[in-house]
Amino acid sequence: MIIASLLEDQKIEKRISITPEIAKKYIGLGFEVHIVENYGKHLGFENKEYLDFGVKVISDEKEIIQNADVIIQLGLPNDSKISLLKSNQTIIGVLNPYENKDKLKEISKKNVNLFSLELLPRITRAQSMDILSSQANLAGYKAVIESFAEFKKAIPMMMTAAGTVPAAKVLVVGAGVAGLQAIATAKRMGAIVYATDVRMASKEQVESLGGKFLTVDDSENLETEGGYAKEASQDFKKKQQELLSETLKKIDIIICTALIPGKKAPVIIGEEMIKNMKSGSVIYDLAAVQGGNTAFTEVDKIIDIDGVLIMGETNILNKLPSSSSNLYAKNVFNFVTNLYDKENNKININLEDEIILKTLIK
Q: pLDDT tens across 159-192, in order?
A: 999 999 999 999 999 999 999 999 999 999 999 9
Q: Within 13 Å of residue 325, how many CA atoms lie on the same side as its CB?
A: 27
Nearest in space to 129 (alpha carbons), one of 137, 118, 139: 118
The answer on 141 and 115 residing in a single domain is no
The CATH number of whichever domain residue 60 belongs to comes to 3.40.50.720
The answer on 107 and 142 residing in a single domain is no
Catalytic residue flag (residue 234): no
Catalytic residue flag (residue 15): no
Residue 130 forms part of a structural domain: no
Q: Say how many domains are in the chain.
A: 2
Catalytic residue flag (residue 284): no
The answer on 336 and 242 residing in a single domain is no
The answer on 283 and 210 residing in a single domain is yes
The answer on 341 and 254 residing in a single domain is no
Distance CA 350, CA 359 (A): 12
The answer on 171 and 59 residing in a single domain is no
Residue 128 forms part of a structural domain: no
Alpha helices for 69-194 (secondary structure H): 79-82, 101-108, 131-150, 177-188
Residues with pLDDT less than 50, the chain: none
The answer on 314 and 326 residing in a single domain is no
The answer on 212 and 72 residing in a single domain is no
User: Which of the residues 69, 108, 122, 128 is marked catalytic?
Assistant: 122
User: Which of the residues 108, 188, 228, 322 is marked catalytic?
Assistant: 228
Residue 63 forms part of a structural domain: yes
Burial of 359 (0-12, 13-18, 19+ CB in 10 A): buried
Residue 256 forms part of a structural domain: yes
Residue 28 forms part of a structural domain: yes
Residue 124 forms part of a structural domain: no
User: Which of the residues 133, 281, 323, 325 is marked catalytic?
Assistant: 133
Catalytic residue flag (residue 328): no
User: Which of the residues 80, 127, 233, 279 is marked catalytic?
Assistant: 127
Residue 270 belongs to what domain range?
A: 136-318
Catalytic residue flag (residue 228): yes
167: left (phi > 0), else alpha (psi -120 to 50), else beta?
Answer: beta
The answer on 173 and 33 residing in a single domain is no
- Could you give the dihedral angle defined by the CA atoms of residues 88, 93, 97 and 98, in that order, rounded to the nearest 10 degrees? -170
The answer on 281 and 225 residing in a single domain is yes
The answer on 141 and 101 residing in a single domain is no
Residue 204 forms part of a structural domain: yes
User: Which of the residues 130, 197, 252, 285 is marked catalytic?
Assistant: 130
The answer on 328 and 306 residing in a single domain is no
User: What pLDDT score does 198 carry?
Assistant: 82
User: What pLDDT score does 246 carry?
Assistant: 84
